[in-house]
Amino acid sequence: MRSTLSIALTGSGGAGVVTAGRVLLDAATRAGWYGLLRRSSGPQIRGGESAALLRLGAHPVDCLDDHFDVLVALDWGNIERFADEIPLVATSLVLSDPSAGAVPAAIAAKGAQHVALPLRELATAAERAPENMVAAGALCAALGVDAEHVEACIEALLGRKGGDALTAAVRGARAGAAGVPAACADLALPAMATRPAHRWALSGNEAAGLGALRGGVRFVAAYPITPASELLEWLAPRLTGLGGALVQAEDELASINMCLGASYGGVPSLTATSGPGLALMTEGLGLAVAGEIPVVVVDVMRGGPSTGIPTKSEQTDLDIALNGLHGDAPHLVLAPVSVADCAFTTQWAVHLAETLQAPAIVLSDQALGQTRVVTERPADVAFLTRRRVASPDQAEYRRYAAGGDGIAAMAVPGTPGTTYTAEGLEHDERGTPSSSSGHHARQLARRTDKLDRHDYGPWATLVEGDGDTAIVTWGSTCGAVREAAARERARGRAVRVVAPRLLAPARHGEVDGASALERALDGVERVLVVEQSHSRQFHRYLRAWHDLPRQVRCLARPGPLPIAPEEVRAALGDWSQR
């Protein structure tokens, strides 16, 4: 019996694909399984085609599988736009309603088995129940999920819509369960003995929002942008509940500067955006560097450049996040290593920005942000250090003077005897504007050193496994890489996975001239770099900042197609035979 099952649901806009996917994920969760739900949609606001891509299993899953076991087409509208995102094999089942037409060539060419699922007929017989719920009911029954779980999920999801919609949905699910095609007999997942406790169901965007709140963020200013808006929509009411505030700004230039104003006022602040917004914010981030004002930007990356592919994922804001600020502008760049890790990494980013009085960019992406996972409850790390605040009534307060660690005490407005001007011009230790070479050199050195010398603890680099072959990756591709490595280990081959959670400052944690990343690669002879970027941004970053072993391969390709575990194994090629 398989340990995970992958299901793709597709249909045109309004067909209810994502709702059916949610019912499936939530019902499977109630039955004790883990899983993830990834959304893929076209550019239309409403009426566009969409796909719900699920993977369910007896253990937590962090990436989509290499292929789908089942494709359920609610209809065939614009399926060609998704065909390459839904790999199928000979054993895969394609479930569709014959009355919706023949299986289109783009799907038929994949050689899977076609199974008739008469959605329209079943829905009509169930007093015009919604077809998406018929499909969800059929799939849940095929997996072996009890009807009570399915109906509880439908009620939780659709209860707000009111009685008629809810009862019609339940009728649909029951009709689907009664009409499961015989060909679906071996889709059942192994039953879970007990439902695991303390599991969370959340998207990467929600996790990042939670991390922000855990880190103490109480002010957010932001401008709507796909695929980051949900993070902001999740935060808005919760911030209010916690006594904070979210301002919808007039543009991203305002967002970042509002955050700087609030942070200057002593309130930890954050904004979320995507590539186009990050581009507009870079000048503000430079001000945060020069004025030493803590701020966090969560960049939920999408295909670029320009407006690019707003609804789909790519890891291509790494260059601008690392190098997009003008001047010598040391700052923090972090990346979560999984959907659930968006919570920790964002919380850590807030902590670091506050402690080091510097801007931090968190590089999430659409694949992390809009994927919903069922996972173990992420740990809440109690960080001890906070923003260093100036004590009141100093005879001669110097905002930009610091001791050995390079971190100066920051006065909070309202405090008597420490008034100063936060300054974006180069300045002396008091903050008075200065164009002198000495002041420039000293302030630059301090702003660099305070980041380089900080002890980032055990979180800066994810290292799993050992051996002399390593896969080095970052961000959302970590899921597929970790699964590929696990499959290699299951075959008795040692593989190390190295993923920096802290990308900048790149040379942090140096010991005897070796960076933290170089030390993580100690004893490694061969490195496979995996990333979702046509121009190999991560590979170039590694080459620019770190000494790598002589043998380096690169699996790099643009979004939006996710990198699958078997592709990573294939890229290892003959290295994995050693």
Partner 1 sequence: MSTVETAITLAPKQYKSDVKPVWCPGCGHFAVLNAMTKAFSALGLPPEQVAVVSGIGCSSRVPAYTSVYGFHGLHGRALAVGTGLKVARPDLTVVVAGGDGDGFSIGGNHFLHACRRNLDMTYVVMDNEVYGMTKGQASPTTAADWSASKLTPGGPGMRPFQPASIAVAAGATFVARCFSGQPNEIARVLVEAVRHPGFSFVQALSPCPTFCPEQKEWKHVVRPFDAEPTDDPAEASRRLQADDGMSTGIVLAARRPSWAPSSGGASASATTIEAIEAEIEA
Chain positions contacting partner 1, by CB under 8 A: 29, 198-202, 206, 210, 213-214, 218-219, 221, 236-247, 249-251, 253-255, 257-267, 269, 283-284, 287, 291, 374, 377, 411, 413-425, 431-433
Residues in the chain: 578
Residue 460 Cβ vs partner 1, minimum distance, rounded to whole Å: 25
CA 565 centroid distance within chain: 18
Name which of 245 and 309 has its Cβ closer to partner 1: 245
Name which of 72 and 231 has its Cβ closer to partner 1: 231
Name which of 265 and 523 has its Cβ closer to partner 1: 265
Nearest to 263 by CA among 219, 227, 225: 219
Residue 261 Cβ vs partner 1, minimum distance, rounded to whole Å: 3
Residue 348 Cβ vs partner 1, minimum distance, rounded to whole Å: 16
Q: DSSP 3-state assignment of 414?
A: coil
* Number of other residues whose CB lies within 10 A of the CB of residue 435: 9
Write the DSSP symbol of residue 411.
P
Name which of 78 and 418 has its Cβ closer to partner 1: 418
Q: DSSP 3-state assignment of 400?
A: coil
Nearest to 172 by CA among 120, 123, 100, 125: 123
Concatenate the DSSP letters of all residues of 81-124 into one string. GTGGGS-EEEEEEEEE-GGG-SPPHHHHTT-PEEEE--HHHHHH
Residue 239 Cβ vs partner 1, minimum distance, rounded to whole Å: 8
Residue 215 Cβ vs partner 1, minimum distance, rounded to whole Å: 10
Residue 416 Cβ vs partner 1, minimum distance, rounded to whole Å: 5
Contact call for residues 5 and 35 (beta carbons, < 8 A):
no
CA distance linking residue 126 with residue 168, whole number of Å: 8
Nearest to 208 by CA among 342, 360, 299, 114: 342
Q: DSSP 3-state assignment of 370?
A: coil
Residue 280 Cβ vs partner 1, minimum distance, rounded to whole Å: 11
Residue 60 Cβ vs partner 1, minimum distance, rounded to whole Å: 11
CA distance linking residue 77 with residue 170, whole number of Å: 25
CA distance linking residue 63 with residue 54, whole number of Å: 10
Name which of 280 and 552 has its Cβ closer to partner 1: 280
Residue 19 Cβ vs partner 1, minimum distance, rounded to whole Å: 18
Residue 436 Cβ vs partner 1, minimum distance, rounded to whole Å: 15
Name which of 185 and 384 has its Cβ closer to partner 1: 384
Residue 394 Cβ vs partner 1, minimum distance, rounded to whole Å: 12
Find all residues with CB under 8 Å of 163, minimum gap 6, and list them.
none
CA distance linking residue 455 with residue 429, whole number of Å: 25
Name which of 95 and 272 has its Cβ closer to partner 1: 272
Residue 295 Cβ vs partner 1, minimum distance, rounded to whole Å: 10
Q: DSSP 3-state assignment of 442?
A: helix
Name which of 284 and 475 has its Cβ closer to partner 1: 284
Name which of 34 and 474 has its Cβ closer to partner 1: 34
Name which of 430 and 536 has its Cβ closer to partner 1: 430
Name which of 65 and 206 has its Cβ closer to partner 1: 206
Dihedral sign computed on CA atoms, order 353, 330, 292, 262: negative
CA distance linking residue 235 with residue 505, whole number of Å: 28
Name which of 102 and 389 has its Cβ closer to partner 1: 389
Name which of 68 and 397 has its Cβ closer to partner 1: 397
CA distance linking residue 536 with residue 551, whole number of Å: 16
Cis ω before 330 (30° cut-off from 0): no
Write the DSSP symbol of residue 321.
H
Residue 265 Cβ vs partner 1, minimum distance, rounded to whole Å: 4
Nearest to 61 by CA among 537, 565, 446: 565
Write the DSSP symbol of residue 379.
P
Instruction: Kindly calculate the radius of gyration of the chain based on its CA atoms and give it in whole angstroms.
Output: 25
CA distance linking residue 266 with residue 354, whole number of Å: 10
> 264-283 in b/e burial notation, b at 16+ Cβ within 10 A?
bebbbbbbbbbbbbbbbbbe
